Every structure is written in C-alpha cells, then in structure tokens.
Amino acid sequence: AIYQAPTLAPVSEFRAFMSRIDGISLRKSLTIEKHFGGSIRRAVNAPRSEWLKVDGIGEVLATHIENVLEGCV
C-alpha cells in the first residue's frame, strides 16, 4: 500500500479515486477533476487522447492511466 499523508481539507471522492493510481498525486488529481468536471464516469470512459489534453499528463502516464482504468469498465 502507498502511504498518503492526511489532508487538511476534505478530498472529493473523484480525487481520492484518481490519486490511487500510480503517478497521480492529490495535486494532479485536482487538475484532472476540473478537466472531467468531477465525473468519474467521464474520466474512466475517456480515451487516451482526452487524457493527453489534461495539463501534466504525458504519453507514458496517459497510457498507464488507460491500462489501469480498463479494469474499471
């Protein structure tokens, strides 16, 4: 299990879900949440090309996210 330090402000369900993926920090999860409008469904169903539009998500991380989220569909 990966250690995550407690936060001072409550973290949304979306950010908690996304930050469990290796390579996505709580900070990066905020950017992702804004991009997908807080919809886990939109994020999970998004193609790799959509993930590449998110600031801070490159080729390698987009591929990793796609592979991890395939199991969620």
pLDDT tens string 10-34: 899 999 999 999 999 999 999 999 9
Please tell me whether the overall predicted TM-score, pTM, comes out greater than 0.75 for this model.
yes
pLDDT score for 73 = 58
Q: What is the mean pLDDT of residues 48-70?
A: 95
Q: Which one is predicted more confidently, 49 or 9? A: 49
Token pair of 61 as six digits: 């991380």
Are 29 and 55 in contact by the 8 Å Cβ rule? The answer is no
Are 47 and 57 in contact by the 8 Å Cβ rule? The answer is: no
pLDDT of residue 24: 96
For residue 35, what are the contacts with CB-CB under 8 A and spacing of at least 6? 53, 54, 55
Mean pLDDT of the 4-13 span: 79
Report the distance separating Cα 10 and Cα 29, nearest Å: 13
